[in-house]
Chains A and B, each alone.
Chain A
Amino acid sequence: MKNLFKDSELKYLNKHEPVSHDVLIELHGSEGRHGWPEVEVYHNKKIVYKGLVEHKHTLKIAVSKNHTRNIFKVCFTNKKPNDTVVDKQGNITHDKFVKVHSITIDNSYIDDVGKLCRVYIDEPSDYAGSSRGGNAMFFPGHLKLYYTNPPLDYIHQVYMQQGLFDTAEYKADIDLNFNRAVEILFNHSREDH
Chain B
Amino acid sequence: MISNYMIDITIATLPVLEFYLPPAAPALLKGHLEKHGFTCTALDLNLQSKQVLSKERFNEFFEFTTTDKEIDQSIKTEVYTSWEKLLLADNPIWVGFSIFSGESHNTARDFLPWFKKRNPKQKVLIGGNGTSKPEFIQEVLSSVDHIIYNEGEEALVELLKGNKKYPGIDTPGKQIDDLDSIGHSNYNDYNLGEYDRFYAENVVQITGSRGCIRRCTFCNIGHLWPTFRWRTGKHIFDEIKKIHQEKNVQHFYFTDSLINGNQKTYLEMCELLADYNSTLDKKITWGGQYIVRRKKGLPEHYFEVTAKSGAYNLALGVETGSDSVRHHMQKKFDNDDFDFFMEGFSKHKITCSYLMMVGYPTETQQDFEDTLYLFKRHQRYVANGTITGCSLGTTMSILDDAPIGENHSDLYTFPTTPGLPTSTRGLQVSRHWESAVVPGLDYKERMRRRLVAQRVCESYGWSTISADRELRQLQAQSQQFQDFSTQTPQLFP
Chain A residues within CB distance 8 Å of chain B: 1, 4-6, 8-9, 12-14, 16, 106-111, 151-153, 155-156, 159, 161, 163-166, 170, 173-174, 177-178, 180-182, 184-185, 188, 192
For the complex, give the distance between the alpha carbons of A147 and B343 in Å: 23
Nearest Cβ in chain B — how far from A152, in angstroms? Answer: 4
Let me know if B427 is at the binding interface, CB within 8 A.
Answer: no
Nearest Cβ in chain A — how far from B2, in angstroms? Answer: 48
Nearest Cβ in chain B — how far from A149, in angstroms? Answer: 13
Interface of chain A, main secondary structure: helix
Residues of B with C-beta under 8 A to A177: 467-468, 471-472, 474-475
Residues of A with C-beta under 8 A to B200: 163
- Chain A residue, CB-CB nearest to B489: A192
Nearest Cβ in chain A — how far from B25, in angstroms? Answer: 23
Residues of A with C-beta under 8 A to B369: 8-9, 12
Q: Are A164 and B467 in contact (CB under 8 A)?
A: no
- Chain B residue, CB-CB nearest to A178: B471
**Which residues in window 369-386 of B have CB below 8 A to A?**
369, 372-373, 375-376, 379-385
Known contacts A164-B20, A178-B451, A181-B475: A12-B456 contact under CB 8 Å: yes
Known contacts A153-B461, A181-B451, A182-B451: A109-B471 contact under CB 8 Å: no
For the complex, give the distance between the alpha carbons of A152 and B417 in Å: 49
Residues of B with C-beta under 8 A to A173: 468
Q: Which of B365, B372, B384 has a CB less than 8 Å from the CB of A108?
A: B384
Interface residues on B, range: 35 or more
Residues of A with C-beta under 8 A to B444: 185, 188
Let me know if B478 is at the binding interface, CB within 8 A.
Answer: yes
Q: Are B379 and A14 in contact (CB under 8 A)?
A: yes
Chain B 385-423 near chain A by CB (<8 Å), digits 1 or 0: 100110000000000000000000000000000000000
Known contacts A107-B380, A152-B380: A174-B482 contact under CB 8 Å: no
Q: Are B463 and A161 in contact (CB under 8 A)?
A: yes
Let me know if B114 is at the binding interface, CB within 8 A.
Answer: no
Q: Are B478 and A4 in contact (CB under 8 A)?
A: no
Identify 22 residue pairs between A and B in the complex whose beta-carbon atoms are under 8 Å apart, listed by A's number. Answer: A1-B455, A4-B448, A12-B373, A13-B456, A109-B384, A110-B384, A153-B461, A155-B383, A156-B383, A161-B463, A163-B198, A164-B20, A165-B463, A174-B454, A174-B468, A177-B467, A178-B451, A178-B455, A180-B475, A181-B447, A185-B448, A188-B492
For the complex, give the distance between the alpha carbons of A46 and B405 in Å: 62
Q: Are A185 and B451 in contact (CB under 8 A)?
A: yes
